A = this chain, B = another copy of it.
Amino acid sequence: MAYEFKLVRRVEFFETDMAGIVHFSNFFRYMEAAEHGFFRSLGMSIVADVEPPLGWPRVHARCDFKHPLHFEDNVEIHLLVREKRSKSLSYTFRLVKINSAPPVEVARGSITVVCVRHKDGKMQAATIPQAIAERIDVAPTSLLEALND
């Protein structure tokens, strides 16, 4: 069972905007990329080949931006599982620019996803399959509290 994952990305040119910094919407894409990496680290894929197809739509996403990211910055996205319920998962994220000394925390965020089944073109909330749930743990309170400082 695992409750955390770290992903490092280098900022791409197309992720910047005319203000010369990473467009804020891309911070959410970075967080999602860490979620998908977390699943891969557990030997799974967020897009599983099951019937009926499983989905993980987001019901909540938030981010507090503290410092900008620039082209070719290296950003570490640190994911922690904050909450695990029968049909949903909540993640907390910390984004750190690691190509500066010392590293700089640039953002904190949070995403809540719901497990759904696609049926007749509709999405319906579903219990997270046991094979997935049993590999995911909630992070220790101490780690989560450190992120809420």
Binding site for B on A (CB under 8 A): 12-14, 16-21, 23-26, 28-29, 32-33, 36, 40, 45-47, 55, 57-66, 68, 70-72, 123
Q: Which chain B residues border A24 with CB–CB below 8 Å?
A: 28, 32, 57-58, 61
A3 to B88, CA, bound (A): 36
Given A58-B65, A64-B60; A23-B14 close (CB under 8 Å): yes
Establish whether residues B61 and A123, one from each chain, have CB atoms under 8 Å apart when the complex forms.
Answer: no
Q: Sorted from nearest, which 3 A-B pairs have the closest CB atoms? A: A62-B62, A16-B18, A24-B58
Task: Determine how many copies of this chain the complex contains.
Answer: 4
Residue of A12, A24, A36 most packed against chain B (CB within 10 A) = A24
Secondary structure type dominating chain A contacts: mixed
Q: Which chain B residues border A71 with CB–CB below 8 Å?
A: 18, 45, 47
A28 to B111, CA, bound (A): 14
A-B contact pairs, 26 of them (CB 8 A): A12-B29, A13-B17, A13-B23, A13-B33, A13-B36, A13-B46, A13-B47, A14-B23, A14-B25, A17-B18, A18-B19, A18-B20, A18-B47, A18-B71, A25-B29, A45-B71, A45-B72, A47-B72, A60-B64, A60-B65, A61-B62, A61-B63, A61-B65, A62-B62, A62-B63, A68-B123
